[in-house]
Chains A and B, each alone.
Chain A
Amino acid sequence: MTTISADQAAGTPTAVTSTLDLAGVSRWYGNVVAVNDVSMSLGPGVTGLLGPNGAGKTTLLHMMAGFLAPSRGVVTLDGRPTWRNPEVYRQLGLVSEREAVHTFLTAYEFVLASAKLHRLPDPAAAARRAIAQVEMAGAQDRRIGTYSKGMRQRARVAAALVHEPQVLLLDEPFNGMDPRQRLHMMELLHRLGDAGRTILFSSHILEEVEQVSGTVQVMVAGRLAASGDFRTIRRLMTNRPHVFTVQSTDDRALAVALMAEASVTGVELDRAGLTVRAGDYGAFTRVLPKIALREGIRVRQLVPQDESLESVFSYLVEA
């Protein structure tokens, strides 16, 4: 097995960089709008495309990769449209979510076939380099059918990297990977991004995006809900108002006491009990028992409302 250092594997930093632009891109299926008026510009580095399942991430990626015509708007790679234009694949690589591989080939044959289809001057060398990049040299002569899910994924990444594309799109690349394979893949994406390539990967898991990319594009229900630096968006997410329903022996008195708290931004009183909006999840849950003790009120029920990822995302849409 050949060993190869991280720097070599990522290739020398490339002087030429590519930009993928989306201008007012929408896609609908009949009456269903899958992607709604999305504009973004992707440059070198790793970008995460974050959103809950069904947000339109895959549809957007397919349009970026030229596998789906936008119903409206245009996707361009360095100014040239990606739809009906196979030439873009000189600069673009795609790793789709569906685990589709020619299982009857070995990883080397598979990557070599990609290299030949790209008409690379030295396909064998390119295939070996791409396989080394994903650290699969040891298993390259086994049929893909015998691989684990993570290994198949890496073989597919190698095939997508064989022509050293400036832009690499990956749809849910960490799905079904164990933690070690995940780490491997994350390192690889980091290296590629650091080398000046434009990397976009989609995920519905916040932590994945957090670990890999500095920039994120957040999609919710077909729309681009937020984009920019991950930390800013993370802060928005953690600082969003949290909603709790509280039932106690004396809701009215508790409401008055809570209004004085800095962490509480709003209180509503109705027959069902109190609905409390808190700016800071931790501070509110720490202070509530103290207040109850001080005021001599017994809290019967404290239920945080909808903490699902979807609700976090939809908060971002409104923000």
Chain B
Amino acid sequence: MSTVSWITLRGLLGRRRFLLLLPLPVVLVLLAALSRSLGVDPGDWGPPVLVGLGLAVVLPVVALIVGTGVLGAEIDDGTIVHILTKPLPRWQIVLPKLAVASGVTAVTVAVPLFVAGVLADSVRLGLSLAAASAVGALAYSALFLALSLLTRRPVLLGLVYVLIWEGLLGSVVSGTKVLSIQQYVIALADRLAPTGLLQGDVSVPVAAVMSALISVGFTVLAIDRLRSFSVAGETS
């Protein structure tokens, strides 16, 4: 493991806010298990739990906490200077951090989604949800990582994207769905395991191409921003 990923991982797992990640996936699995044990029809509980909670809340929120944490937290407390004063090309800093962010997010989200998918329908749905959410984890992480270099309030802006753009506008204005990572994940998961539980609103090619574009685009942007990283002028 590279030194950058090692420091990033230790910083991430060592901070208390990492514990915030745990309740959401646990709630997801508990809800799925409860619905299943009560014998509720998967057609009734599947969409709200898998999509409404899993893909619309757990995935983006976990990605937000982790994605803004791997670089944003270091920018906030100034420790980023230690990594930046090294003769490393900036992509060697951004890529390991992106790998840690999307890896941690994917593991945290894919496991409970897999379990919930199995409980709702089949192992195939579980696997497809896990795989699609891993793609989503990468796209979200790239977005939130870049946000932490573009603004001083990445968490706030990220929340606005997740709650307002994807959540609110997504259900009212259909055009916004083309720029919604959540919709890509739904489309991809539905393609991998067509069950009728997931309702994708964008086509699979759009979802695949846009996920790739967002992941690569924001990563390139983050690398360029980090190259011109300025230490904020202190009071003096």
Interface residues of A (CB under 8 A from B): 29, 34, 53-59, 62, 65, 67-69, 84, 86-90, 92-94, 96-102, 104-105, 113-114, 116-119, 159-160
7 A–B contacts from the bound complex (CB under 8 Å) = A58-B233, A59-B233, A86-B84, A87-B87, A90-B87, A98-B78, A105-B7
In contact, A117 and B14 (Cβ under 8 angstroms): no
By beta carbon, the residue of chain B nearest A57 is B236
One digit per residue, 1 when the CB lies within 8 angstroms of any chain A CB and 0 when it does not, for chain B 50-84 equals: 00000000000000000000000000011101111
Asked whether, in the complex, the Cβ of A117 is within 8 Å of the Cβ of B4, the reply is yes
Q: Is B88 an interface residue (CB 8 A)?
A: yes
Give the contacting residue for A67; candidates B7, B10, B231; CB below 8 A: B231
- Specify the chain A residue showing the minimal Cβ separation from B231: A67
B85 on the A face (CB < 8 A): yes
CA distance A94 to B6 in the complex (A): 22
Tell me which residues from 1 to 33 in chain B have a Cβ below 8 Å from any Cβ of chain A. 3-4, 6-7, 10-11, 14
Query: Which of B78, B84, B236: most chain A Cβ within 10 A?
Result: B236
Q: How far is the CA of A98 from the CA of B77 in the complex (A)?
A: 9
Contact call B228/A69, Cβ cutoff below 8 A: yes
- A118 to B83 alpha-carbon distance, docked (Å): 10
Shortest CB distance A125–B (Å)? 16
Would you call B90 an interface residue if the criterion is a C-beta within 8 Å of the partner chain's C-beta atoms?
A: yes
Q: How far is the CA of A105 from the CA of B79 in the complex (A)?
A: 12
**Contact between A86 and B87 (Cβ–Cβ < 8 Å)?**
yes
Q: How far is the CB of B44 from chain A (nearest CB, A)?
A: 46
Whether a CB of chain A sits under 8 angstroms from the CB of B152 is no
Number of interface residues of B (CB under 8 A): 29
Q: CB-CB < 8 A to B4: which residues of A?
A: 117
**B90 to chain A: closest residue by CB:** A86
Min CB gap A171→B, angstroms: 10
A84 adjacent to B228 (CB under 8 Å)? yes
B231 touches A104 (CB 8 A): no
Assess whether A116 is in contact with B3, with CB atoms less than 8 Å apart.
Answer: yes
Chain A neighbourhood of B41, CB < 8 A:
none
B6 CB contacts on chain A under 8 angstroms: 113
- B82-118 interface (Cβ within 8 A of A): 82-90
Whether A102 and B82, one on each chain, are in contact in the complex, defined by CB atoms closer than 8 angstroms, is: yes
Chain B residues in 8 Å Cβ range of A62 = 230-231, 233
Structural contact, A86 and B89, CB atoms closer than 8 A: yes
Report whether A113 and B7 are in contact in the complex, using a CB–CB cutoff of 8 Å: yes
- Quick one: closest B residue to A56, CB to CB? B236
Which residues of chain B come closer than 8 Å to A116, judged between CB atoms? 3
Q: Are B233 and A65 in contact (CB under 8 A)?
A: no
Chain B residues within 8 Å of A, Cβ to Cβ: 3-4, 6-7, 10-11, 14, 77-79, 81-90, 227-231, 233-236
What's the Cα separation between A89 and B93 when bound, in Å?
A: 15
Known A-B contacts A56-B236, A160-B85; the reply to A96 vs B7 at CB < 8 A is no
Which residues of the partner chain A approach B11 to less than 8 Å between Cβ atoms?
102, 104
Q: For residue A88, which residues in chain B have a CB less than 8 angstroms away from its CB?
A: 87
Cα-based distance from A56 to B83 in the complex (angstroms): 24
Q: Which residue of B lies closest to A204 (CB)?
A: B236
Please tell me if the beta carbons of B234 and A117 are within 8 angstroms of each other in the complex: no
Which residue of A is nearest B235, CB measured?
A: A54
Which of A84, A86, A98 is the one whose CB lies under 8 Å from B86? A86
What is the minimal beta-carbon distance from B98 to any residue of chain A, in angstroms? 17
Starting from the known contacts A88-B87, A102-B82, 11 additional A-B residue pairs (CB-CB under 8 Å) come to A56-B236, A68-B231, A68-B233, A86-B86, A96-B231, A98-B81, A101-B79, A102-B7, A102-B11, A102-B79, A159-B82
In whole angstroms, how far apart are the Cα atoms of A65 and B82 in the complex? 12
Which residues on A sit within 8 Å (CB–CB) of B228? 69, 84
Q: A67 to B81, Cβ gap below 8 A?
A: yes
Given A104-B14, A117-B4, A65-B79 contact (CB < 8 Å): no
A34 to B87, CA, bound (A): 28
Minimum distance in angstroms from A183 CB to a CB of chain B: 26
Given the known interface contacts A34-B233, A57-B236, A113-B3, the answer about A89 and B87 at a Cβ–Cβ threshold of 8 Å is yes
| Complex CA–CA separation, A56 to B236 (angstroms) | 7
Question: In the bound complex, how far is the Cα of B85 from the Cα of A118, in angstroms?
Answer: 9
Q: Which residues of B contact A54 (CB under 8 A)?
A: 235-236
Which one of A58, A69, A86 lies within 8 Å of B236 (CB-CB)? A58
**Bound Cα distance A293, B136 (Å):** 90
B3 and A58 within 8 A (CB):
no
Give the distance in Å from the alpha carbon of A138 to the alpha carbon of B134 in the complex.
Answer: 45
Please give me the 5 A-B residue pairs with the lowest Cβ-Cβ distance, nearest first: A100-B78, A117-B86, A67-B231, A104-B14, A116-B3
